[in-house]
Structure 1
Amino acid sequence: MTHLEPGAVLAPQEYAVTRAGLVAYAAASGDLNPIHWSDRVATQVGLPGVIAHGMYTMALAARAVATWTHDAPVLEIGCKFTAPVVVPDDDEGVVVVVGGSVKSVEDGRATIVLEVTCAGTKVLGMPRAVVAVDG
């Protein structure tokens, strides 16, 4: 477990998202939907291009929580998928930034409110995590 203080602002974490990462995530998750790898299919269905899996983006938020809390047990994590993370076909990809602050700490649980953005746009709505903390 870890110790967190209410009101603490957590250092933003940055994660590069590339097409290679999307392919690896698709293989691991079994989500082979072509909107995550084919520009042709993505644009045919009205997307601006290939987009990251929503759960991949949420996993980046969970990774930030693990970093901040030194792998404290995650009791709850959730969000709404509000905007796509468009991933260009190059070697750099895009950067997803995960920020957070500790909303409350009580009964051995800390609630962390997250902000997850890409190119300045919030990509997850109402993201939050609840982790186990020291007394």
Structure 2
Amino acid sequence: MSVRMSEVAVGDQLPVLSVPLTRADLVRYAGASGDFNPIHWNERFATQVGLPDVIAHGMLTMAVAGRLVSEWTGDPGAIVHYGVRFTRPVVVPDDGTGALVELSGKVAKKNDDGTVKVSITARSADQGVLGGASATVRLPE
């Protein structure tokens, strides 16, 4: 999908995106990122350090949330700024299903410099997992 600045209004909703995450996804991400912290793959270790179970990498959660915006723009290069606060981990059980990260967004502001601010909501297990998530994008006229 490609969106143009002239087609966008404050309050517009982005298409909802649901991203499943399994333990296999965590292993692949660990290999790609080099982050082999056992909280991301070892249930015994994760629970020993006080977590409810294995959790997704924070940067993986951030990446899937960013995908909401890049799929909407049709161009990942359109994102000129992106930021989040990590508020709650995505727990990924070893049950064959894993976790589901549900993403939504809306156009929060059209800026004078020709960019658009998008507010992003990310939820898993009916709880918010990112706070203050937003992206600034430059759309074609």
TM-score, with normalisation over the residues of structure 2? 0.91
Q: CA RMSD in A?
A: 1.2
Shift of 1:133: 1.2
Report deviation, 1:90: 2.4
Task: Show CA shifts across 1:67-103 (max 9, x none).
Answer: 1111251101111100010001122111100100001
Partners of 2:22 and 2:99 within 8 A in 1: yes
Does the CA contact (< 8 Å) of 2:84 and 2:130 recur in 1? yes
User: How far apart are the structure 2 equivalents of 1:2 and 1:109?
Assistant: 12
Partner of 1:121: 127
Q: In the alignment, does 2:25 pair up with 1:30? A: no
Q: Which runs of 5+ in 1 are unaligned?
A: none
Matched-pair identity in %: 47
Gap runs ≥5 in structure 2? none
Query: Paired residues, what number?
Result: 135
Partner of 2:24: 20
- Checking the alignment, whether the CA contact within 8 Å between 1:2 and 1:132 is kept in structure 2 is no
Task: Please state which structure has a larger fraction of its residues in strand.
Answer: 1
CA apart distance, 1:2 = 3.7
Match of 1:90 in 2: 95
Contact persistence 1:19–1:90 (CA under 8 A): no
**1:5-40 per-position Cα deviation (integer Å, ceiling 9, x unaligned):** 221011210000000000000000011100000001
Give SS of 1:9's match.
Answer: coil
Match in the other structure for 1:44: 48
Q: TM-score, normalised by structure 1?
A: 0.95
Give structure 1 regions of 4+ aligned residues with deviation exceeding 4 angstroms. none
Is the Cα contact below 8 Å between 2:116 and 2:136 reproduced in 1? yes
